Structure 1
């Protein structure tokens, strides 16, 4: 009896391209206070209604001067006024200078600022100061609009807002910002072997049971991606329970995310349940860890449209890595952000990897004090301590061995876990 040839493994790049081709960015927007917009994604371009700064101002505590009056060092000039931030001065006349402070408007007629350390009082003339320098044109003057011009797009649609972006938005006078609504993600685990920490003490764990670690790091990763997460807990290994969980999740969420339970075993009910409610594609990806991956769509029962479904591997490191490499770009695209490839650094390996795998490997490593990379000794997909210890991975092409000192592509976790 002949057996059909096994389909070739899909490359990670092809899998990502196929996944993103199915994702349409969200369009629903809402207005939130700028104070509360950290981590949100802009729903439209922000065009400045003013110049930033709005006026020429001093970037130093010192003296506003006319350069024509200071053609050589040692010149003494009379201080005619004092200008603090939040106040305006009078036009500067020839032979006069203005005492000025950081952020204060530069008076008309002044064309440079001399810092206070380069001037000293004239003892015999109380209202005069002597300058030790000849100023350069425009020195220490922040020009109106040098940061942002009126009518300029300061922040763009699809841009994720962080502390710097919020400060920039506030400098435009914006107390509220238009942002896309958060992706709604339903998260659940399958498996009768799973136990929640706190429900059973370690010494009382039944044989064959394990604590549900995936649920914790996946929930944290989803929150870091700006998602609203509905944690549906652990779904029993029964078809009816799996169908009920999927129906509930699809009606109110954009994405359903699970880990484990998408193989062909008799107790793996996710695959037939998703297929009965929509469609499912099982992808075998040429990556290690993380070969099994499922994508599908579940039709909503009480509303139009579908919810995307992603099934991650059950092994924790596989689940962690496939989230970073596939689910994270999916969520970026769903929020209108760039889903471009992560940037790697070329660093020397301070280890040997003599046995090449056919699949593209992601080796957990950590930078050392010598500027190279150390390898975690156990690269098993079930060893979650490797991810805790590591600060990134080596992206090693399939069939590639590594010798000590060889330059490798290092991808830091900070690229996507900030």
Structure 2
């Protein structure tokens, strides 16, 4: 775990920075052990464990890129119309069986194999019929040899790498693999994640609320986030503030899971037993982060499992997951390289009050006004107001050194699309 501990000079007086914490986590991780061969449709969302190599040329033959006429470029006059005799038709799946000879053309449709002898396709909109011959067409000057032809192997030659190991399969990847005639691929196994909430103040759904209790939302938020990433999940429920119960749960989970996620109990509060229990079971770092919402974050190992101790407030839990846990899970799943975060600027519709010192992740909603992109900060930014996440569609990123933001000022935003 020494490699996960940032140097003390990397932390500000407010706590460890976002970039330093993220880098320390990712340095420690490697993809999970274990691969499996799955049917192509089951590969959606999975990560390739080996390169997908093209067993054939794509496309498999020279073909037309559009509807038109296939012909020999050598027959075309440089500065006048050229009359050619149409000797047949070629369709995708039904090629022209003959050969294009001098003075001939073949009517061809998009995707149809290029007939023997032809080397050029002229789009149908440029071709005119001859006034006197029904089986002839006029080709205007200005055509280029080889135009509108897709060559065999142009997309992928035989033996070329169609998709690299580490690529996560989406719909386009499934289609590309199918175009190679492959019906199964080798993928990394899914990371196994055990998660639970802690605290006597947390009640499970279906239970009556006791004095001072609230219903558990974090487990359902985390379940959704984990399911979207394709993890195998094990919901351990709500654990009470009892060291023995926590020890049993952590020891059991560490024997089977790749990752353990906890929410709540990692601060230094008098009743926060999770911190003490984690420290006794494994090698865990406890960080005070220079972020808002959220501040405490635990990271380390218990047995064979990586441990992330997230803050307990609902919004802080989601922020910590998105900024630190998500890329960690993608790394464990085998994704390489990690996708770059989608960030862009927008003009803040209203002022934001902020003190320098912490990296804030405010919630906002994007829109367009007067021809420019704007972001409206959520009215309520408290770390316990989960509604702000539901109503928002982006984070407004305010770095540590940033002070208050004036209305109309440009700010950096991170959209939820592709993140949540």
Q: Is TM > 0.5 for Structure 1 vs Structure 2?
A: yes
Is 2:296 aligned against 1:292?
yes
Rounded Cα–Cα distance in structure 2 between residues aligned with 1:288 and 1:357? 11
- Specify the SS of the correspondent of 1:273: helix
- Tell me the matched-pair count: 402
**Residue in 1 that maps onto 2:52:** 46
Counterpart among 388, 399, 402 of residue 400 in structure 1: 402
RMSD: 2.1
Displacement of 1:74: 4.6
Counterpart among 246, 261, 267 of residue 263 in structure 1: 267
- For residues 288-323 of structure 1, the C-alpha deviation after alignment (integer angstroms, 9 at most, x for no partner) is 111011112112xxxxxx211111000011000000
**Residue in 2 that maps onto 1:34:** 40
Displacement of 1:324: 0.4
Worse-matched range after superposition: 145-154 or 333-342: 333-342
**Residue in 2 that maps onto 1:359:** 358
- For residues 108-161 of structure 1, the C-alpha deviation after alignment (integer angstroms, 9 at most, x for no partner) is 221211233333555754433344565322222111122112222221111111
Rounded Cα–Cα distance in structure 1 between residues aligned with 2:223 and 2:229? 10
Is 2:412 aligned against 1:409?
yes
- Specify the SS of the correspondent of 1:30: strand
Rounded Cα–Cα distance in structure 2 between residues aligned with 1:61 and 1:279? 66
Worse-matched range after superposition: 258-267 or 386-395: 258-267
Task: Give structure 2 stretches of 5+ with no counterpart.
Answer: 1-11
Rounded Cα–Cα distance in structure 2 between residues aligned with 1:238 and 1:374? 43
- For residues 206-239 of structure 1, the C-alpha deviation after alignment (integer angstroms, 9 at most, x for no partner) is 3312111111111111111221111111122222
Worse-matched range after superposition: 323-332 or 112-121: 112-121
Rounded Cα–Cα distance in structure 2 between residues aligned with 1:11 and 1:349? 24
Rounded Cα–Cα distance in structure 2 between residues aligned with 1:399 and 1:110? 66
Counterpart among 255, 258, 262 of residue 254 in structure 1: 258
Displacement of 1:73: 5.5
Counterpart among 224, 228, 233 of residue 232 in structure 2: 228
**Residue in 2 that maps onto 1:163:** 171
Counterpart among 312, 322, 331 of residue 314 in structure 1: 312
Counterparts of 1:84-103 in structure 2, within 5 Å, are: 84-88=91-95, 89-103=97-111
**Residue in 1 that maps onto 2:196:** 188
Worse-matched range after superposition: 73-82 or 321-330: 73-82
Is 2:71 aligned against 1:61?
no
Displacement of 1:341: 5.4
Rounded Cα–Cα distance in structure 2 between residues aligned with 1:129 and 1:114? 11
The answer on whether the counterparts of 1:259 and 1:312 sit within 8 Å (CA) in structure 2 is: yes
Counterpart among 158, 181, 189 of residue 173 in structure 1: 181
Displacement of 1:399: 4.0
Displacement of 1:266: 4.8
Rounded Cα–Cα distance in structure 2 between residues aligned with 1:180 and 1:209? 41
Rounded Cα–Cα distance in structure 1 between residues aligned with 2:130 and 2:145? 25
Is 2:122 aligned against 1:129?
no
